[in-house]
Amino acid sequence: MKLYYCPQTRAFTSLWMMEEVGQPYELVRVDIRAPGHPTEAYKRINPMGKVAGFEDGGIGFGETAAILLYVADKFPQTKLAPAPTDPRRGRFLQWLMFSATSLEPAMAEKRLGHTPNSLQSGWGDYDRTFGALEAALTSGPWLVGDQFTAADLYIGSSLGFGMMFGMIDKRPAFVQFAERASARPAFKRAQEIEAKEAAKT
């Protein structure tokens, strides 16, 4: 497995996932700030040219949610995803997709200062997205019960990133959830790798 990665980007979420899974992988640096990025070669891994990218068995793809789900399913012993036959699977998938489908556009809404028509836009609007997430986080400890999953990892990572850059309000439920998720040893290992990689730039 190869993880195409650049420090201080959204690729951190996939790096954290690889550290949760604990299986061998190669970290391949992609410098998104270099002239000429994205190269045609990299676009054969991720057609958007964005990080993270992933490759396994010679097949490349991108999108954080896809990487997390692929890896969680490949290593079911990690219990980072309920099995396809598990009734909790649907709710897990809903929250696994939520960062890409709702948190990202809601954060962009805040950054751009534009409030959309909540009925027409896929994520509703900022208040609707973050209201739904806040309500889901009150039952805890994790989004789908007692088991930490890839959905918690992605939501925890997005909350940490969004609050750090002022795109998500620091509501107590968000701060507590991000702290709980980032207390995991795999998060700390990913942070150490990230610090070493950032020092190389």
- Interface residue list for ligand GSH (CB under 6 A): 9-10, 32, 37-38, 49-52, 62-64, 100
Q: Output the smallest distance, CB 62 to ligand GSH, in A.
A: 6
Nearer to ligand GSH, 2 or 88 (CB): 2
CB atoms < 10 A from the CB of 125, how many?
Answer: 20
Nearer to ligand GSH, 59 or 119 (CB): 59
Q: Output the smallest distance, CB 172 to ligand GSH, in A.
A: 26
Q: Output the smallest distance, CB 192 to ligand GSH, in A.
A: 20
Q: Which of 191, 84, 189, 96 is nearest to 148 (CA)?
A: 96
Q: How far apart are CA 58 and CA 73, in angstroms?
A: 18
Q: Output the smallest distance, CB 13 to ligand GSH, in A.
A: 7
Nearer to ligand GSH, 10 or 184 (CB): 10
- What the block records as the tokens of 199 is 């020092």
- What the block records as the tokens of 37 is 């990025």
Nearer to ligand GSH, 97 or 176 (CB): 97
> Torsions phi, psi of 2, nearest 5?
-120, 130
Reported in sequence order, the residue ranges of the chain that DSSP labels E, i.e. its strands, are 2-5, 26-29, 53-56, 59-62
